Amino acid sequence: MDELGWDSCDIIIVTGDAYVDHPSFGMAVIGRSLEAQGFRVGIIAQPDWTSKEAFMALGEPNLFFGVTSGNMDSMINRYTADRRMRHDDAYTPHNEGGKRPDRAVTVYSQRCREAYKHVPLVIGSIEASLRRLAHYDYWSDKVRRSVLADSTADILLYGNAERAIIDIAHRIAGGESVSDITDIRGTAFIRKAIPDGWREIDSTRIDAPGKIDTLHSPYQRTDQKDPETCSSNTEASDASVQDADVVQVVNIFPSSDVQSAKNEQTYIRLPSYEKLRNDPVLYAHASRVFHRETNPGNARVLVQRHGIHELWVNPPPIPLETDEMDWVFDHAYKRVPHPVYGDANIPAYEMIRFSVNIMRGCFGGCTFCSITEHEGRIIQSRSEDSIISEVEKIRDMVPGFTGTISDLGGPTANMYNLTCKTKEIEESCRRPSCVFPGICKNLITDHSPTTKLYRRARAVPGIKRVAIASGLRYDLAVEDPEYVKELVTHHVGGYLKIAPEHTEEGPLSMMMKPGMGTYDRFKRMFDKYSREAGKEQYLIPYFISAHPGTTDEDMINLALWLKESDFRVDQVQNFYPSPMCSATAMYHAEKNPLKRVKYKSDKVFSAKTKAQRTLHKALLRYHDPDNWALVRTALKKAGLARLIGSGKHQLVPSEEAEEKSKGKPMQGGRRALTQHTGLPLRGQAPKNKSPKSKASKKARRRTRLGS
């Protein structure tokens, strides 16, 4: 501030991460975007939260405090999936843990209030995004209030909030009170009462069995009016997923008015926080309603009662256009950590040091993932010129660059420039996923813009190699063999990570992930193009254990598939219930919010106890001697003692064999398919049919592909 001649800051951003001036770090993006608008921005990184003094280091801001937990949710950053405290933090110098508090947004906000009570307080980041409504909190095992209520902030921004934060800054600078700023998309705030002129759609109760008047449903299937909408894609849709008659209109008015009413004149009332904290099934219902209101083209305002106040959540922000994305990423980032850290290693920075973010958003809709709840499902892509310009900046500016771009990606590596075929269809769609249970016929799956980008990037002078490290959506990739060939031939360094997540239909349906038939199809293409390129390359699949809907039988089948495929998984991720995800609602309520929720609907099994979760994780690491005793006990309990032994179709050695082997890992084997469990498995050929019959051949093929 002294060097710049500033006597004060207009805006002060408080963040839980070390400050890295790079477009992969949220506080840098927001700070540089506000700076480009002429505001004087100060940043307080990882302050001591035990008193208010650290929050007064830059003085009182002229406009407002902006509070963020950082690039990660502070609870996920601090604790493992088993609720054990981590002792490291990739966003902190020297990977040191404990440099941010639990629930950082709330704690930082309270300290800002103590420092300067009258200064407006704006909260954001993924932690605020995923806690904008009453939400199930895995760490306390209860439903908590919106973070707005706990933090006492004036306004919450969710999603990628460049447009919203700039608008708020200009309006406060123009003399407008923060309490009067109620019309910005992607914001939430507290109101004492509902303003006049708004129609309420009541979704506070689970519908009782019986006929529902479809005219009063905001979730009426759009194919009833337009045969070209996504919902009309009966080839890839499940009626039970699409039908969502879960609301009742309070103020009855003519059906023509219902159909013509503008979304901004209508709000949906969700069950109150007080009701949700005592009713898990109602929570699943509320989660279903919420996820149907995530498309910026048709989402309505959500209102939720918290005590005597109304939590008001405006519709999601309109996605940034390409030129706006370019503007955000073309700021004068230094692309290095702040000099105050010296030579300290910041692991998160090292990971993205030579990478380029080419897009935002994800339309996959995976229920365990929070990308859609935060960034939205509409893909926002940068221009090719902007991306190449950043590649050149890395080459010319970043210390230690040796010629390899570590990643051209984003939330998903291969969704760059993939869109709906028309804007009208996109804005009317309420499908939670564009690729589940099948790829929507209205989705453009042409990867040629991505292929062209890859080729141009690797042709930049001084660039020796361009790697792709972001997660690959292989069910989309197989739709464009030319893309797969480019990827495999030039952008895989021996190993490619992909995420089938599971092999069994039950868990996959709860995850909204494709079956293993698609994995096998991609693997054949991967192997073919690797051979043609003269390269020995391998797929590294990722799996989740203990996901809602996963039984012990499912995990045994997955373990057998791993052995048959000669995979020995080193790192295993137990399901982590992050706030607001659909899978988290499944975990908490043991109901499926992808379908109409009823009190008497089928129960979704969730591995919640430590013993269950440990077993599921151990089955993924069947080859680890430390897990053999646990797996043996589980197999005996399931009546599958035949899987105990040293044969190629068996999972773990007997106690006697283990003693003789002195803990050496088992040898892998082929053909250890799921039929060896003796369980009633999908696609298994009936025993009374001839092995050579067409029916049994087809059944064996389904079993082999896992579809």
Provide the residue ranges of all domains of the chain, joining segments of one domain with +. 11-191, 199-298, 354-491, 494-677
Residue linked to tokens 């989705």: 443
Q: How far is residue 453's CA from residue 357's CA, in Å, rounded to a whole number?
A: 13
Domains 11-191 and 494-677 share a fold: no
Whole-number Å distance between alpha carbons of 340 and 334: 14
333 within 8 A of 349, measured Cβ to Cβ: no
For residue 571, the model assigns a pLDDT of 75
Residue with tokens 């991460």: 17
pLDDT of residue 683: 33
pLDDT at 657: 83
Give the closest residue to 506 by CA, choosing from 557, 561, 558, 549. Answer: 549
End-to-end CA distance of the chain, in Å? 61
| pLDDT band with cut points at 50, 70 and 90 for residue 14 | very high
259 CB-side CA count, 13 A: 10
Looking at 204-314, list the stretches that DSSP marks H as alpha helix, in order from N- to C-terminal side. Answer: 239-242, 255-260, 273-276, 280-291
Matching residue, tokens 């990977």? 95
Structural element, H or E, at residue 123: strand 121-123
The number of beta carbons lying within 10 Å of the beta carbon of residue 563 is 26
Around Cβ 670, how many Cβ atoms within 10 Å?
11
* Percent over 90 (pLDDT), the chain: 80
C-alpha to C-alpha distance for 518 and 520, rounded to whole angstroms:
5
Host H or E run for residue 302: strand 301-306
- Contact by Cβ (8 Å): 304, 311: yes
Question: pLDDT band for position 647 (50/70/90)?
Answer: confident
Q: Is 162 exposed, middle or buried (0-12, 13-18, 19+ CB in 10 A)?
A: buried
User: Which has more pLDDT, 697 or 390?
Assistant: 390
Tokens standing for 230? Answer: 């996504």
Architecture of the domain defined by 11-191: 3-Layer(aba) Sandwich (3.40)
Q: Which residues pair with 64 in a beta bridge?
A: 11
Residue 493's pLDDT is: 86
> In what helix (H) or strand (E) does residue 202 lie, and over which residues does it extend?
strand 199-202
State the pTM of this model.
0.86
Residue 484 has pLDDT above 90, yes or no: yes
Q: What is the pLDDT of residue 601?
A: 84
d(CA 97, CA 180): 40
**Which tokens hold the place of 422?**
């028309």
The pLDDT score that the predictor gives to residue 263 is: 56
**Residue 266 pLDDT > 70:** yes
Q: What is the pLDDT of residue 257?
A: 33
Instruction: Say whether pLDDT at 261 is over 50.
Output: no
| CA distances for 84 relative to 13, 137, 577, angstroms | 30, 15, 14
Q: Any alpha helices (H) in 37-73, and if so which ranges?
A: none
pLDDT of residue 230: 55
Q: Which two tokens stand for residue 440?
A: 């929507």
CATH domain 494-677 topology? Transcription Regulator spoIIAA (3.30.750)
Q: Which CATH number fits domain 354-491: 3.30.750.210, 3.40.50.170, 1.10.20.140, 3.20.20.70?
A: 3.30.750.210
Question: How confident is the model at residue 252, as a pLDDT?
Answer: 29
Residue type, 162: E
Give the model's confidence band at 372: pLDDT under 50 very low, under 70 low, under 90 confident, else very high. confident
Q: Write the pLDDT tens digit of every residue in 403-456.
A: 999 999 999 999 999 999 999 999 999 999 999 999 999 999 999 999 999 999
- C-alpha 445/C-alpha 283 separation (Å) is 35
Question: What are the tens digits of pLDDT across the range 591-636?
Answer: 999 999 999 889 999 999 999 999 999 999 999 999 999 999 999 9
